[in-house]
Amino acid sequence: MGRARRVSHRFVEHIPGSLEDGVVYVSIEYGTAVHKCCCGCGEEVVTPLSPTDWKLIYDGETVSLSPSIGNWSFKCQSHYWIIQNRVGWARKWSAEEIREGRDADLHRKRQYYADGDAGASYLPGFFDDAFTDDDQE
């Protein structure tokens, strides 16, 4: 398999021991999505689903993962997006960009978990007008 342009998805309880090329396996129960690297190298890519890792969007027909998938620990160092079952290839990052990206991820995680109301800090200001302490049902 060469570089993938599209993937399909399967919702599963448990990730299978043998992964098919071009399939994103999603386990809601275990909060993870797993697939073989879209470059074709065969490496297993694990994307934990959480407020500080990846987000999964399922629109009833396709899946999207955000942010991009940077396989910096793999020999291929592939970098791509999965949006509506399509694979969008990003440019290769330099070693400095990878380090800065990892540092930024760590900083966001620390900030998120240090905040008493972790969910509110993830999208600062976005929901300010939607929720107030007066809202009680």
Q: Tens digits of per-residue pLDDT, 102-114?
A: 999 999 889 888 8
Query: What percent of the chain shows pLDDT beyond 70?
Result: 83
Q: Could you give the CA distance from residue 51 to residue 71 in angstroms, rounded to a whole number?
A: 20
The conformation of residue 6, written as its DSSP 8-state character, comes to B
Does the predicted model carry a pTM greater than 0.85? Answer: no
What are the sequence ranges of the domains in the chain? 8-92
Q: Could you give the CA distance from residue 87 to residue 94 in angstroms, rounded to a whole number?
A: 21
Q: Tens digits of per-residue pLDDT, 25-65?
A: 999 999 999 999 999 999 999 999 999 999 999 999 999 99
